[in-house]
Every structure is written in structure tokens, then in C-alpha cells.
Amino acid sequence: MPHSIFWLVADALAVARLARLVTSDAIFDRPREYIKRRGTKAALFITCPWCVSVWLAACAVAATHFIPSVWIYACLGLSFSEIAGLLAGHEAS
């Protein structure tokens, strides 16, 4: 994957989308509640977008290096999803 401002922004948007997915989207409500009930330190981790984004960014960097042909498509899909969410939120306000 080429290094450019486009891919930097796409990666950032993808990580932001993944962080929201893990920390607050309804699709992960059950796993989040299960982890919270267990009372582990992971409960703090999965409810903090700032905390989880560091590790997701590390995974994005690794994916860019080790599986770029897969990450390109995942990154673009996640980026488009993040942009759509931001635009939908803007329309609602």
C-alpha cells in the first residue's frame, strides 16, 4: 500500500470506526456487557475509545505491512462507514 496522505487519512478513519465499533456500537453490546460483568481490567479497555484506538492503530500498521492486499479493502470499507456515520450525525443535528 503506498504511503500517502490519502492512506494516512483512510487509516485514521478506519481506526476511528473500529474504536467506535468496539466501545459503543450496539453490535458489540453483548460481548461488552459480558466483559463488564466479569469485572476485569478489559472492561475499562473496551469502554474507552482513546485506550482501544492505540491498539487498533497498532493493528492497522501491522496489517498495512503484513497483509496490505487485505487491509486496503478493509480500510476503505471502514473509512467509508466512518464518513457515512459522521455525515448522518451532521444531518440529524
Domain span holding position 84: 5-92
DSSP 16-41: HHHHHHHHT-GGGHHHHHHHHHHT-T
Predicted TM-score of the model (pTM): 0.88
Number of structural domains (the chain) is 1
Residue-wise over 21-44: b if at least 16 C-beta within 10 A, else e?
Answer: bbbeeeeeeeebeebeeeeeeebe
User: Tell me: the pLDDT tens digits for 38-77?
Assistant: 988 888 888 899 999 999 999 999 999 999 999 999 999 9
Q: How many CA atoms lie within 13 A of 51 on its CB side?
A: 10
